[in-house]
Every structure is written in C-alpha cells, then in structure tokens.
C-alpha cells in the first residue's frame, strides 16, 4: 500500500446544503447502527482512467480502464497485474470499457461481466477468467443494441442477492429514447446471467424501469430496495428507488421539476454531485461525485431518506467515479481525474488516478 491518509471527513460548508440538496421525505426510525468514515489508505496510484470495480472471491479487485479497454487485477497490498484488454472498445468522451461485475457463481463458472461502449452499439459481455487469474477471454454477448453516442452511456453493472444482473444505460444524448419502450436506452435493465429475462420484469423484456437520463450507480439495501443514481441535465441530479415498470420522467421531468414520472428520494445540484457509483453500507448510501469532488453519505432505511446527506472529503482527491463495498466491509473508491483531463477539464494531480480504501466505523443510532 502507498500509505495511510488522514481519515477525517469534511462536512459540507454551512449554508450550502439548503441551496443544493433537496430531500423528498425524511421518516423517523428507531435506533439504528450507522457508519462514519474512518481511516483512508491509498491502495494503488497511477491508474489510467479507471471506471469499473468488482471483487473476486479471494478479495482481490478487478478494475477496468475506460479508454484502453484493459482490465487489471489489484491485490490489497497494491500489487497490480494486467489480465488483458477487451476488443471493440470505442474511446469517446464518456465511452469505452465501463462497468464490471463478478458473477456470484464465479467459483464455478469463472465469469465476469463487462459493459462495453463500442460500435455499432453498446453491449454487455461475459468474460471467462482463467484458473490462474492471469488472463481472460470474451465468451459471449448478453445484451446488444444499446444505442451509442459520444456521451450518456450509463454503464454500471451490479448483482442483486437473487443473482440478477442489473444494468444502467444512458439516453445516448437523445432524451426521446428514454421514453421509447422499444429502446434499451435511458433504462435500467435486469437480466439473468445467461441473458434471459427474470420473472418480475414488467414487459417480459430486459427493461425494469424507464425515463432515465444517465444511470451510473446501482446499489441494494439489506431489505432488497434498489437504489440508482442518475445524472441530471443542469439543475438536479437524482437518487431514485427503482420499482418495476415505473417511469422516472426524463426528459419530461428533472428532479422534482415537472409533473411527470416517479419522484426521486433526494436530489443534488450538479455542482455538488454529478453522481457516478453508489454503494450501500452501514445504514447509508455512499455516492461518488465527479463534478462535486466528494463522497456523499445519505442515511436511508427501506427506501426512504432518514437524515440529511453529509459530504465527506470535499476536494481531497478530485473527482470520484466509483465506490464499492469490499468483502471486509470497507469501501473502495476510484478517482477519475485522468478521465477529466481528456475533454478539457483540470489536469490530473500527481499520482492520479487512485484506488483508495476507506474504513467505516460504527456510530450510534
């Protein structure tokens, strides 16, 4: 490991919250065990446009590189090994090799799923990792026909406790696709690992919900609640609770503005958020923020917000792309500063990009 970093968390400056965060409802709940940020350790540095992060059964992690299509395996001590690269990746402003998800049955089938932005369309593919964890082959395509463009690909993959694979897609910079039931864009998809449609999908297709702009975060509460983070346009980013067949409004509604679609449980101004990955741990959602350059903690219970969101590490590491719960209960974060620099943003900081490990400590209810 590169070393221990001061773990003190920074709350949002006074006065900022009321202007930039809107909570739809807060429901008082009984005593709960919550978590707060503890020590932060830099696991690895010098990463190239990291995007997807998923853990193997031995607690090592796989990380995708957006522009190169490479996948690396990283050990807890920072040792990094290149497994190979996925062919057919198109490096656009936001496209390339995006989300990764290790199969819950990895020990048997050795399968990892990847979201690929390429031509003629975006797709989700299954990779087979060799027995020595040193290389992979692309076995098959599970989902194809997701319209591609320069931006708004979505790209997050996540498995629920029933073994279903969830896929966040973007509207490909065409909001009409989000309201088109025949399109896979601007949707959240749910499939089985073999590509089939699970029971409970509302239309018998991979589409679980629609009316989304650009979903890059999916997480599950202990009660099975499905949460998704979504980029807004200019006014409100969203965190939604996903339910089958619901329409979340885009482009006819954004945040709480507009009279169409399901309302989010909390909204953020893009200046303080621009959310990518989310994770659920210790009674809260933890949301990575790109433009906002912070990690948001959102207390939730059974799909409702139970307290004011709190910002941690504001500006400490620049843009944060991904947050995942590790097998030991810590949070692993990926920064995204080499990515920003490619389309006119701030130059990377020395050592960018980074993989960070954040310990969580229990607090009172």
What is the reported pLDDT for 6? 35
What is the reported pLDDT for 142? 97
- Per the model's pLDDT, the better-predicted residue between 3 and 330 turns out to be 330
Nearest CA-CA partner of 294 in 282, 312, 274: 312
Nearest CA-CA partner of 155 in 109, 200, 225, 101: 101
Q: Where are the alpha helices (DSSP H) in the chain?
A: 16-20, 106-109, 337-341
Q: How far apart are CA 342 and CA 292, in angstroms?
A: 18
Nearest CA-CA partner of 184 in 155, 154, 145, 151: 145
Q: How far apart are CA 179 and CA 248, in angstroms?
A: 9
Cα distances from 119 to residues 122, 144, 187, 345, in angstroms, run: 7, 10, 19, 26
Give the global pTM. 0.93
Q: Sign of the C-alpha dihedral, residues 150, 152, 156, 160?
A: negative
Q: How far apart are CA 341 and CA 339, in angstroms?
A: 6
Neighbours of 316 (CB within 10 A): 18
- Asked if 281 and 297 count as a contact pair (C-beta separation under 8 A), the reply is no
308: confidence class by pLDDT, cuts 50, 70, 90? very high
Largest CA distance in the chain: 54
| Per-residue pLDDT at 68 exceeds 70 | yes
Q: How far apart are CA 227 and CA 149, in angstroms?
A: 26
| Per-residue pLDDT at 4 exceeds 50 | no
Give the HSE-up count for residue 100: Cα atoms under 13 Å, Cβ half-sphere. Answer: 30
CA angle 106, 107, 113 (to 5 degrees): 10
| Per-residue pLDDT at 321 exceeds 50 | yes
What is the reported pLDDT for 144? 97
Q: How far apart are CA 187 and CA 203, in angstroms?
A: 13
16: confidence class by pLDDT, cuts 50, 70, 90? very low
34: confidence class by pLDDT, cuts 50, 70, 90? confident
């Amino acid at each position: 490991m590169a070393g221990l970093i001061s773990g003190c968390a920074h709350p949002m400056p006074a006065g900022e919250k009321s202007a930039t965060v809107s909570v739809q409802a807060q429901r008082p709940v009984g005593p709960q065990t919550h978590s707060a940020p503890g020590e932060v350790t830099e696991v690895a540095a010098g990463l190239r446009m990291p995007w997807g992060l998923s853990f193997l059964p031995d607690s090592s992690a796989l990380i995708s590189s957006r522009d190169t299509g490479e996948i690396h395996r990283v050990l807890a001590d920072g040792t990094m090994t290149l497994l190979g690269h996925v062919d057919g990746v198109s490096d656009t402003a936001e496209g390339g090799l995006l989300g990764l998800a290790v199969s819950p049955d990895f020990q048997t089938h050795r399968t990892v799923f990847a979201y690929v932005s390429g031509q003629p369309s975006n797709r989700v593919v299954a990779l087979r990792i060799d027995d020595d964890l040193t290389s992979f082959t692309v076995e098959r395509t599970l989902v194809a026909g997701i319209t591609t463009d320069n931006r708004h690909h979505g790209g997050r993959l996540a498995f629920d406790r029933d073994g279903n694979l969830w896929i966040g897609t973007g509207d490909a910079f065409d909001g009409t696709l989000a309201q088109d039931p025949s399109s896979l864009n601007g949707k959240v998809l749910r499939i089985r690992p073999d590509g089939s449609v699970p029971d409970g999908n509302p239309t018998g297709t991979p589409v679980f919900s629609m009316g989304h702009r650009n979903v890059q975060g999916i997480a599950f509460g202990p009660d099975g609640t499905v949460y998704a983070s979504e980029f807004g346009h200019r006014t409100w980013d969203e965190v939604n609770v996903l339910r089958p067949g619901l329409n979340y409004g885009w482009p006819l509604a954004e945040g709480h503005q507009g009279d169409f679609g399901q309302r989010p449980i909390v909204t953020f101004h893009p200046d303080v958020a621009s959310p990518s990955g989310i994770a659920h741990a210790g009674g809260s959602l933890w949301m990575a923020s790109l433009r906002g350059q912070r990690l948001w903690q959102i207390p939730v219970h059974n799909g409702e917000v139970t307290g004011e969101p709190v910002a941690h590490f504001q500006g400490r590491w620049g843009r944060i792309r991904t947050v995942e719960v590790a097998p030991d209960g810590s949070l692993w974060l990926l920064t995204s500063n080499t990515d920003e620099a490619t389309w006119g943003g701030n130059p990377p900081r020395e050592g960018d990009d980074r993989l960070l490990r954040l310990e969580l400590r229990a607090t009172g209810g």
